Amino acid sequence: MTGRVRIVIAGGSFGGLSTAYELRRRLGPERAEITLIAKDERFCFVPSFPWVAMGRRSLEQISFDLAGPLGAKQVRFAQETVTAFDTERKIVVTTGAEHAYDFLVVATGHRSANEAVQGLGPFDGPGHSPMSARETTELAGAIRSLLAEPGPVVVGAAPGASCIGPVYEIAFELDHLLRQHKLRHRAPMTVLTPEPYLGHMGMGGAGKIRQLLEGALEERDIAYHTSVAVTKITEEAVEAAGFGPTPSLCSIVIPPLAGVEAVASSPGLSNPKGFVPVDDRYRHHSADGVYAVGVAVALPPAGETSVPVNFPKTGHMTEQMAEIAARDLAARIEGREGPSAELSARCVLDMGDRGVYMAVDPVRPPRDKIPTVSEGRRWLLAKQAFERAYLFHARRGRKMPTALGW
């Protein structure tokens, strides 16, 4: 392909930002005009949302304006909301303009399908969720209220959820916070999960994580139930199919995810759930010049379970997708094809007083390597250091470190 190509990236979180940096590293301004479109002006480090909820971070500490680092990389930033993708005309329609492209990267993330559980607000019901900056701020207020007036707590995930890790982090962090305030004896805690066993996390488990989580919850007097389909949240309880109501004055439930409206409603772009079907280089199955990375990608579950649990999509996995897609896009401009690779996963779970490191390669079993599971305070310190390192590099338009994962 000759001439200066037009690349549009829809989305300003992990997938969009990582793709923009990688593409600019491979394609100079004389070769590619890159535009990143995002509805929010700031990037948020989503893995730190539980810390914001616990009052250990502010949103300002874990976010930064996108315009500065993108501008430094000569990537045009458009703070607009995408309303439609016209893959026939190769145009992205937003609230402010129409953006023509030669190549498009869909990194729009997800829509939280809170409507799947009656009462899962937080703005139109008593349930809470940490899936966005606004919701996390509201949850932080609910936790402050819990500290003022302790009572029973339920932390869980709805059927079809794919983001299970925060369930465990929030449960352990909240347990630790309550103990610090000497209020734990006044706040019974229960974990309700759709997983067939603890630590399944939509990927079939990881080594000894099941046994570790079972022991950690039991030693902290946190009750747990698996294969639970949460159906309703009231002011006093969390209800589940075939399962009696669990008393709760503070209910935190991770919803299932759906594709954002602009993706779901654009003809020929997504599957019925609003996610984008791609090949092993994250190219759309049929739409010319279209890629997708991150949560927007359609990934089948790791296996059948009695209550649906969807395949996980982590920040670390999103960055791998972004690099594979960017490499292939740059190679296609030169008439070549980029390499593909199976996704691996590395993450650290905050357990309040310590952390757990997990590494699986590949994510989907069976695996050539035995998963790594390691527990200790050093991993909590490493998680805190990684947050600072990631934000330091991302603010400066640099390739972000991914050795630890998240």
Catalytic residues: 163, 347
d(CA 211, CA 191): 16
Rounded distance, CA 145 to CA 222, Å?
Answer: 20
Residue 247 CA from chain centroid, whole number: 28
Which residues are CB-neighbours of 154 under 8 A, at least 6 positions away?
Answer: 189, 190, 191, 192, 238, 246, 248, 250, 251, 252, 253
List the one residue out of 197, 192, 174, 198 whose CA is nearest residue 184.
Answer: 174
The alpha carbon torsion through 47, 53, 55, 57 (nearest 10 deg) reads: 30
Long-range Cβ contact pairs of 338-341 (< 8 A, separation 24 or more): 338/281, 340/280, 340/281
Half-sphere exposure of 268 (CA within 13 A, CB side): 12
How far apart are the C-alpha atoms of 277 and 269, rounded to whole Å? 8
If phi > 0 it is left, if psi is from -120 to 50 it is alpha, else beta; for residue 400 that is beta
Quick one: tokens of 55? 């009052």
The rounded distance, in Å, linking the Cα atoms of 67 and 43 is 10
**DSSP labels, 195-238:** SSSTT-TTTT--TTHHHHHHHHHHHTTEEEESS--EEEE-SSEE
HEC string of 380-401 equals HHHHHHHHHHHHHHHHCCCCCC
Give the chain's length.
Answer: 406
Both structure tokens of 311: 């395949």
Q: What is the DSSP letter of 78?
A: E
Mapped onto helix, strand or coil, the DSSP state of residue 350 is strand
Is 140 within 8 Å of 53 (Cβ atoms)?
Answer: yes
